[in-house]
Amino acid sequence: MSRPTTRLRSWPLSFLYYILPFAALKPLAKVGWRPTSRVALYKTIPTRLLSRAWGRLNQVDLPTWLRKPIYSLYIWTFGVNMKEAAVEDLHQYRNLGEFFRRKLKPQARPVCDSHCVISPADGKILHFGRVKNCEVEQVKGVTYSLETFLGPHTWAESIALNRNEDDPTNFQDILVTKEGNALFHCVVYLAPGDYHCFHSPTDWRVAHRRHFPGSLMSVNPGVARWIKELFCHNERVVLSGEWAHGFFSLTAVGATNVGSIRIYFDKELRTNLPRYSKGSFNDFSYVSNNNQEGISMRKGEHLGEFNLGSTIVLLFEAPKDFTFNLKAGQKIRYGEPLGTM
C-alpha cells in the first residue's frame, strides 16, 4: 500500500486520538492498534488537503438569506468585533473568504509614531526577547533552530550581511551587521477571530522572499507547546531586508485552513500547492538592475493577509539597549508598540 493511501486511511483514527482522552481509546489498543505518540499521529492528518478544500469552500458564494446566520455564528464563537469592520452589514460579504479578509475602519487602529517597531497584526504575544545560541522560542521552553527557520544564508547577496565563509556554523552572527547590536525576535499569534491582514511593523526595505512549502499544522499555542520546531515544519513565507539598524525580517507562517498566504506586492507568490518536496524552498529577489532598493515599506502600510489566522514571526537586528514593552500571553492590536530604544 502506498504511503499517501496509508496516511489517508489512518488519519480519522489519528484525529480521534488527538481530541479524545487516552482512556476512551483503550478498546482500540486491545485489538492491536498501538499509537506511538499524539505528535506522530497528528502529523498523519492530511492538513494540506483539508486546507485546500477549506480554501475552495471559502470562495463559494452564499445565498443572501444564509449569510447572516453563518457569519453570526462565527462572530459569536470567536468573539469578532464587527463594529471595527469597514463594512458592518453581514449581507455584503458574499462568501466566507471575503468575511475572513474584512478590512477595518480607517481610524480603528492608530499607528504609534513614538516607537520604532509596532505590532504587524492583531493577536497574542507568544514569545519575545533576544535570540541566543541560534535558537528561538516559539513558546516558553520550546525552541526551534534559527537557521532551519530562515534557511541557508544564500539570500545574503541581496542584503549587506556579514558572510563569514570560514565559520559556517555562526549563523546568528551573520545576521548582526553592526557592532553593538543584537538579534531580537517576537512571535504574534493570530486567532480565527482576529483581523486577518498584517502590516509593515517598521520603515524598512524588503530585498528578498523565501517560500518554504511544508505542513499546515495548527499553530495554536497549545499545539506549539508540544511540537518542537513547529514553525520550521509549517509552510511559511520569509521576507528579509534591512531597516535603520540593520537586518530585519518578517515571516508569515501558515497553519491548518490557512494555506493561502498573500503578499500584496508579490503577484508571483503561490502557496499551498498540491505537490512539493520536503525541505525545499523557493527564492525570489526584489532587487534587480531596474530596482536596486527592493520594496520600500512604511510603518503601518498594508503588507499581506491570511485566509483565517496564523502566526507572524519578527526577527531583527537592533542596538542592545532595545527593550520590549510586552508580556508573554498579552493581547495586542496592529499599530501598538512592541518596543523602543
Cite the active site residues. 122, 199, 310
Q: Which helix or strand (DSSP H or E) is residue 232 part of?
A: helix 230-233
Contact residues for 109 (Cβ-Cβ < 8 A; gap 6+): 333, 334, 335
Question: Which residues on neighbouring strands pair with residue 302, listed in sequence order?
Answer: 199
318 beta partners: 182
User: DSSP per residue over 50-62, as a string?
Assistant: HHHHHHHHHTSPP
Which residue's entry shows cell 521576507? 239
Neighbours of 332 (CB within 10 A): 21
The candidate with the shortest Cα–Cα distance to 194, out of 73, 32, 308, 71, is 308
Beta bridge pairs of residue 182: 318
Residue whose C-alpha is closest to residue 322's, from 178, 199, 204: 178
CA-CA distances (angstroms) from residue 24 to 18, 36, 38, 69, 155? 11, 16, 14, 34, 50
- Which three cell numbers, joined as nine digits, stand for 238? 520569509
